[in-house]
Structure 1
């Protein structure tokens, strides 16, 4: 006998139909009896992995990710070319004293979470080990190092658009070959002390013992670890979610001083870990989970202990997201961003139809 009640009715009466198929798209199928669900689950043509993945791709949000957000081959080619040019300039044209031991690419491009039309690249300039193997030795000449890098870039035709205590900023306009399109790449160039000879526990001990004002300068030296945390240890579906949240931030969120994209990356990873690290999940569920937490930002308390142990734990008052490689760095920092406006934007997004039909867990 065929089913007598529509799927829509079943979704609207969950108490009457408590048993749920977690794989079906676009909406979960609900059943009154466990036996009916088990019979449905045996429909292998519906639940084989290829069929599941195909239905995942059919969602509206996934379609947006594929068509509007993921960088295409031309975009990736131009980004790589920009990074390669700047890297070669830094390797070959700075003063011999500062000639880098290595140039490391990070930021969204280095971590595989870049979005079309808006990329950020961190180029870490790892100083020679023999002379600059402590943060203190680098800071003693930090102004001169930045001056030298800025002069080198200027002589090579690049205009430095900003300069902070830690980095130089460039904005590079790229022409995508064969398309006539242009896009901008924001580049931060960060000199870093060469701490390669130290173990991680030794580095974190030095971080603890140094003056508070110096602790933030350890982070660029740990770029490889930071990049690996996002690039290597999470599934492709979570990267897609992160890219969509970045797209929301740059195109839909109306905030004067938004948080960093890295802040949203770490929040998404933390919530995914809390929900059991599922390798596949409905993108709508993951997005609702992230948006609900952003909307309730005062409750955000995120720390990671993959690279340092709990002895490095700091007492934090208020919302915080602590950098996985620097226990002294709160990347959420409400004093630098308009989080009340961010939360308002998240609450508005949660009113969209795709969110109303989603659950608040990655794995449900």
Structure 2
């Protein structure tokens, strides 16, 4: 391959058929030729061996860094570093004082040891403005390595200790060195960081770097930005949005360019090598993430913000917008990645985080509402036209119905009440036929109306639900819908009134006499679920959005470890926290968020219910509720439907969420503007019938209080 003439590199990324062509483009034009790469590898190994044999200075290790060490070398010409750890450099300050002296020793050694005859590649050595470079060249490839003598900050350790970073900060202050000046001391960490990522991600990095090269050629006055910043941004995009070894390159490049468009909001860092446990390190990181955006911290060195030039980012933003318009000619997905993560957003900025990243745009919501209204009207007026079955009503449920929709990837339910489903049992036996008919009619609706609907075929042989998505090409936001046939159990119920106890008596009797799962018929009570949340203050709905976003982050991380409780359980827990801890239309969002996480941490004590739709007055309902409340904690009863315990006891892995909640409490989102820990509301973990106004025999209420004390004592012993 090294003897073949190279193909001429196109001046732009292929955008006509990106999914099919991008991988071939990378292989054909961006990866170095294998033969050329081997020649440079062999030459560099020879140089490293010679450095170890030097007599004027003792080399303890040599680390290959830069693009070469990260395996993100572009064809033709690229960069690298040779970080040479010298035994005489015992501290960061030694490196600062002795750097030029040792560089000259290395230069003299390389000039006089006559390596050229031993190398598989041509070598040029240049000393310029106090910097030493080695350029290795073959016929079709050259790599320029900067030689960097360094103090080995890790020694024999695989990970730096907090003391290492404390000493780093002290040395920076004492020597008045620039932030990031000692990053080379952590070159081994950089090598390990990139070694742990798949080859295809590095191909995506090549594509991003090639795009940046094209921008540089077009904008000759473009201020210099380290390509390392774009490499880290690409890693962040992949980690947050994909994480799979095999993925669509076009989705990745769309995501990275989309993040560049939002550069004024970028705040990216990792906690693989440093975190918030040590006070000095915490203050360094907090100082960085509170500084003007964009912020991209070196995963190895918290003092090093690699994205400093805002002017460059603004020019790149315009280029990203132009390239995205080409890539989006054939609309395709990108990964759902925010330019700043929730955990690194200081507590006093959570309201802005919600507004910027979680609230859907008004224009999109209006489109969704209009589309849903069209579908609902269509179902009611056109389905079953040639049948005795009729649609009584179609009700919006889920996030769209409750007013807690997230900007991307939210869910909604369209519950369709038909005349043929005249009992709970008929809902179980006949809904498959209803789904088939609705599917057929919705496909007709899709052809007639002016919006995009993507149908997803159910995996079940006897489908219980029809799923589809409503998307906006303009705003790149989506809501997933489930169409669910249901029995109209509420019948003559009017909004704002309390359902008849008979509704719940019938449901409880069926639940006791059959093998149905609790909450099986919750769709019958969609209007009650919707009204329970939709009437709440706007800021509480925003807090619910924040908790749901947190839950999605946990879900992504924990999906292979166990089954998590449903999102609805966390929505109810958030409402409970606000009712018991604040009750105000305006409150501190960070305090509310922390309160919810504190309750999750104490999940084994949770016993929560409401009496807005059912209560203890009817004997059958009362006896059933008393039984429900004595179940294994956590108990969180659906306020619309008493058989639905979304707490679930041991059914779900609450302990996984509790562990995440504990870890999150150390993150900046729970640090206020003054640098102090965010407070939380004092909220009881368990309710008793008496606390909700039920007039039961005192012995009954004492029984529940005793049960709560038992659980508290049991958990205290376990924790001890």
> TM-score range with shorter-chain normalisation?
0.7 to 0.9
Tell whether the 8 Å contact from 1:167 to 1:188 is kept in structure 2 after alignment: no
Counterpart in the other structure of 1:72: 361
Matches for 1:256-335 after TM superposition, within 5 Å = 256=559, 257-275=563-581, 277-310=583-616, 311=622, 312-313=624-625, 314=628, 315-333=630-648
Counterpart in the other structure of 2:416: 125
CA displacement 1:316-335 (0-9 Å, x = unmatched): 12312111111111123366
Matches for 1:173-188 after TM superposition, within 5 Å = 173-176=470-473, 180-188=474-482
Give the drift of 1:148.
Answer: 2.2
Counterpart in the other structure of 2:523: 220
Q: Classify the secondary structure of the residue corresponding to 1:189.
A: strand
Distance 2:463 2:588 in 1: 39
313-322 or 239-248, which deviates more: 313-322
CA displacement 1:238-284 (0-9 Å, x = unmatched): 11111111122224652214433211110011122222523322111
Tell whether the 8 Å contact from 2:635 to 2:646 is kept in structure 1 after alignment: yes
CA 1:252–1:140: 2 relative to 1, 3 Å: closer
CA 1:297–1:246: 2 relative to 1, 3 Å: same
Counterpart in the other structure of 1:162: 458
Q: Which of 483, 488, 492 is residue 194 of structure 1 equivalent to?
A: 488
How many residues end up aligned between the 2 structures?
A: 300
Distance 1:93 1:220 in 2: 22
Tell whether the 8 Å contact from 1:71 to 1:115 is kept in structure 2 after alignment: yes
Tell whether the 8 Å contact from 2:414 to 2:484 is kept in structure 1 after alignment: yes
Taking CA–CA contacts closer than 8 Å with sequence separation of 6 or more, which of the two structures ends up with the larger relative contact order? 1
Q: Classify the secondary structure of the residue corresponding to 2:367.
A: helix
Q: Classify the secondary structure of the residue corresponding to 1:115.
A: coil
Tell whether the 8 Å contact from 2:581 to 2:682 is kept in structure 1 after alignment: yes
Give the drift of 1:70.
Answer: 1.1
Tell whether the 8 Å contact from 1:285 to 1:359 is kept in structure 2 after alignment: yes
Tell whether the 8 Å contact from 2:383 to 2:441 is kept in structure 1 after alignment: yes
Q: Classify the secondary structure of the residue corresponding to 2:482.
A: strand
Distance 1:148 1:217 in 2: 22
Q: Classify the secondary structure of the residue corresponding to 2:519.
A: helix
Q: RMSD of aligned C-alpha atoms? A: 2.6
Q: Classify the secondary structure of the residue corresponding to 1:159.
A: strand
Distance 2:601 2:637 in 1: 19
Give the drift of 1:307.
Answer: 1.0
274-283 or 333-342, which deviates more: 333-342
Tell whether the 8 Å contact from 1:160 to 1:168 is kept in structure 2 after alignment: no
Counterpart in the other structure of 1:355: 670
Distance 2:459 2:373 in 1: 22
Give the drift of 1:154.
Answer: 4.4
| Greater gyration radius | 2
Give the drift of 1:351.
Answer: 0.7
CA 1:323–1:76: 2 relative to 1, 3 Å: same
Could you state the TM-score of these two structures normalised by the residue count of structure 1? 0.74
Distance 1:93 1:81 in 2: 18
Q: Does 1:143 align with 2:432?
A: yes
Counterpart in the other structure of 2:373: 84
Q: Classify the secondary structure of the residue corresponding to 1:162.
A: coil
Tell whether the 8 Å contact from 1:281 to 1:362 is kept in structure 2 after alignment: no
Unaligned 5+ segments in structure 1 are: 1-57
Q: Classify the secondary structure of the residue corresponding to 2:508.
A: helix
Could you state the TM-score of these two structures normalised by the residue count of structure 2? 0.39
